């Protein structure tokens, strides 16, 4: 049977040692959150995830959601777990106290979210989407809408969704057909069909607040005519008491590859009552507040799945006896050695461990910048932090979810035949991980966003928020004898990234296909360079502490970083070669040459 233990020690390392606690406590709202407070919160979250959510994961996958008479029932135990989740305050960690939130640092919320994703990703989608909906309404809603809806959403008794996709319309939101007609009382009547709506209907909350992209009849065509509307499942009175059912219904739920405990719905809006959020025709721009929040959250989903896949693969590799070590018997008292003695198994395990710990550092680095973008006293610092978040959002979403699937697949491989069997759990992790590379914008779209939009912005101003600290750190540490084996590979990867950036900028001016052909390789190149930077900084911390009481932990950090530099970072060389080869190998192929023949 699967196991899960929250990686609290590594979370503590990242939040309190790599990124010192003072970096968080210096920001408004976090002054009174001590390291002891962080430890206590994360320890309690770990207990909840390990003991309440994790036991429901395999059974929830087996049972799935039930749809009947336009209503959805979640798997057995989900409703009770959700009630305990919200009553314990886990839904409101980083929300504003003005609306009933606890105002805790984003880094704590991120760590708790990772535990939820590891222990039960299907369950995590329900409160996770509400958090994104909260951010959207907080930023773009009128005071009246915020006062009416946010307290209940923060409390967790009302949940939220994001309704973009239609049967004919996915990435290209300019094709949205859902119609919004204004009414004399200031509301709108919403009519249309939305598909692939996560948490669109369920039995966990009293009300579901849908954020819907639609167009008014008089609006311009294309994406410029799309607006954003709040459409609740139930209409409520001024006291937030449920008054009547709104005319939005679940026509069906999808039978999916994974995430079977999460309801993915087809929703029909039949003159449903809704209210405009933000300005008319700014719907897609406003929705990006939620979409970007969800993209960062989806990256964390990739890490959550990868972590539990690694833990189970490691446990299996230590217990499964097969063959003998190539260098001689290691356990003569046993009939065979555990498979962890074999180099190929160790390579898989180290790859999993390296990606997981690197992505935990990467996600926390971005979360700190989110906090600075919102809480820093200096306006320039807030703006620079936001630019860093804008740049790294597609990187976090795409790379961390790519790693999630890769690590889950490696976990299946470590298990061998048992990895393909349901009750061992590993095949579920691979199925659950796969969607994260697709929803909230496919990873190919993330790469295009990075290379085609984020990097060219203001002649590369966003990119400088990443380049400058990395370059400065390399220059500062070049003479450090302890770090030489890490700084050298980091510098080479960074130089490749610089050259690739210049080349793409030049080629893209005359041929946009050069951007598209290189985008995914470039995104992975910048992600691996970021990992190299963070692993080097991690080793700087570890070298100072490796002779203390926790020497084994810090030695493990250094050894894992060494594996990354020598076995994974060399990917940057092949990525650079692919980028430099240009678009011709892709685009010169005539369409008919693809076949079939």
Catalytic site positions:
440
Between CA 322 and CA 80 the distance in angstroms is: 42
Query: How big is the chain by its Cα radius of gyration, in Å?
Result: 24
Instruction: Categorise residue 240: left if φ over 0, alpha if ψ from -120 to 50, beta otherwise.
Output: left
What are the E-state strand segments in 279-421? none
Taking the CA atoms of 183, 185, 190 and 191 in sequence, report the sign of the dihedral they define.
Answer: negative
Number of other CB atoms surrounding residue 452 within 10 Å: 16
> What is the pairing mode between strands 264-276 and 226-232?
antiparallel
Secondary element (H or E) of residue 117: helix 106-140
Instruction: Establish how many alpha carbons lie within 13 A of residue 467's alpha carbon, considering only the half-sphere containing its beta carbon.
Output: 13
What are the E-state strand segments in 248-374? 248-253, 264-276
Q: 546 has which bridge partners?
A: none
What are the E-state strand segments in 369-453? none
At residue 67, φ and ψ (nearest 5 deg) are -115, 130
Between CA 507 and CA 412 the distance in angstroms is: 41
* Residue in 89, 109, 97 with CA at minimum distance from that of residue 15: 109
Decide: residue 541, CB within 10 A, 0-12 exposed, 13-18 middle, 19+ buried: middle
Name the packing angle between helices 283-319 and 379-415 (round to 10°): 40
Q: 212 has which bridge partners?
A: 163, 229
* Residue in 399, 384, 161, 191 with CA at minimum distance from that of residue 291: 161
* Residue in 108, 97, 112 with CA at minimum distance from that of residue 34: 108
Between CA 180 and CA 160 the distance in angstroms is: 20
Which residues, at least 6 apart from 582, have a Cβ–Cβ distance to it below 8 Å? 507, 514, 517, 518
Instruction: Establish how many alpha carbons lie within 13 A of residue 93's alpha carbon, considering only the half-sphere containing its beta carbon.
Output: 23
Alpha helices in 192-342 (DSSP H): 283-319
* Residue in 569, 596, 407, 436 with CA at minimum distance from that of residue 495: 569
| Residue 161 near residue 211, CB atoms below 8 Å | yes
Number of other CB atoms surrounding residue 500 within 10 Å: 22
Secondary element (H or E) of residue 163: strand 158-163
Can you say how many angstroms the Cα of residue 536 is from the centroid of all Cα atoms in its chain? Answer: 24
| Residue 248 near residue 222, CB atoms below 8 Å | no
Decide: residue 51, CB within 10 A, 0-12 exposed, 13-18 middle, 19+ buried: exposed
């Amino acid at each position: 049977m699967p196991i899960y233990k929250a990686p609290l020690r590594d979370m503590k390392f990242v939040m309190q040692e790599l990124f010192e606690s003072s970096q968080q406590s210096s920001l408004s709202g976090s002054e009174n959150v001590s390291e002891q407070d962080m430890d206590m919160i994360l320890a309690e979250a770990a207990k909840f995830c390990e003991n309440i959510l994790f036991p429901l994961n395999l059974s929830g996958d087996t049972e799935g959601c039930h749809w009947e008479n336009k209503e959805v029932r979640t798997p057995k135990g989900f409703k009770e777990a959700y009630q305990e989740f919200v009553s314990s305050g886990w839904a409101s960690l980083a929300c504003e106290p003005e609306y009933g939130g606890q105002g805790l640092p984003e880094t704590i919320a991120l760590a708790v979210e990772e535990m939820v994703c590891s222990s039960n990703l299907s369950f995590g989608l329900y409160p996770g989407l509400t958090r994104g909906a909260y951010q959207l309404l907080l930023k773009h809603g009128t005071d009246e809408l915020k006062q009416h809806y946010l307290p209940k959403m923060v409390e967790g008794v009302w949940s939220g969704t994001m309704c973009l996709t239609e049967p004919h319309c996915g990435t290209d939101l300019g094709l949205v057909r859902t119609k919004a007609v204004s009414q004399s009382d200031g509301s709108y009547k919403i009519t249309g069909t939305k598909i692939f709506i996560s948490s669109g209907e369920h039995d966990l909350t009293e009300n579901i607040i849908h954020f819907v992209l639609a167009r008014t009849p008089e609006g311009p065509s294309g994406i410029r005519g799309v607006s954003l509307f709040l459409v609740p499942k139930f209409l409520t009175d001024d006291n937030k008491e449920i008054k009547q059912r709104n005319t939005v219904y679940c026509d069906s739920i999808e039978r999916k590859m994974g995430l079977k405990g999460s309801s993915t719905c087809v929703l029909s809006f039949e003159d449903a009552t809704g209210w405009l959020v933000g300005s008319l025709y700014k719907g897609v721009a406003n929705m990006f507040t939620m979409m970007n929040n969800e993209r960062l959250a989806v990256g964390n989903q990739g890490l959550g799945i990868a972590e539990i896949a690694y833990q189970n693969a490691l446990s299996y590799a230590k217990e499964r006896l097969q063959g003998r070590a190539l260098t001689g018997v290691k356990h003569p008292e046993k009939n065979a050695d555990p498979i962890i003695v074999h180099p190929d198994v160790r390579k898989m395990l180290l790859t999993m461990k390296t990606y997981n710990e690197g992505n935990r550092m990467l996600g926390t680095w971005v979360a700190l910048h989110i906090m600075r973008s919102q809480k820093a006293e200096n306006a320039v610092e807030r703006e620079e932090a936001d630019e860093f978040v804008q740049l790294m959002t597609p990187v976090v979403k795409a790379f961390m979810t790519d790693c999630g699937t890769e690590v889950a697949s490696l976990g299946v491989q470590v298990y061998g035949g048992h990895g393909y069997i349901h009750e061992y759990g590993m095949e579920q992790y691979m199925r659950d991980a796969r969607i994260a590379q697709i929803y909230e914008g496919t990873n190919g779209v993330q790469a295009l966003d990075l290379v085609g939009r984020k990097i060219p912005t203001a002649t590369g101003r966003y990119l400088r928020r990443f380049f400058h600290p990395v370059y400065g750190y390399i220059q500062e540490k070049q003479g450090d004898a302890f770090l030489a084996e890490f700084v050298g590979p980091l510098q080479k990867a960074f130089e490749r990234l610089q050259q690739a950036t210049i080349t793409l900028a030049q080629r893209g001016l005359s041929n946009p296909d050069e951007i598209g052909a290189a985008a995914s390789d470039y995104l992975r190149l910048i992600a691996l360079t970021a990992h190299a930077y963070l692993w080097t900084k991690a080793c700087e911390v570890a070298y100072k502490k490796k002779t203390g009481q926790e020497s084994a932990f810090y030695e493990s950090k250094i050894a894992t970083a060494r594996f990354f530099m020598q076995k994974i970072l060399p990917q940057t060389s092949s990525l650079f070669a692919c980028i430099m080869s240009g678009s011709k190998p892709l685009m010169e192929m005539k369409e008919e040459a693809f076949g079939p023949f």
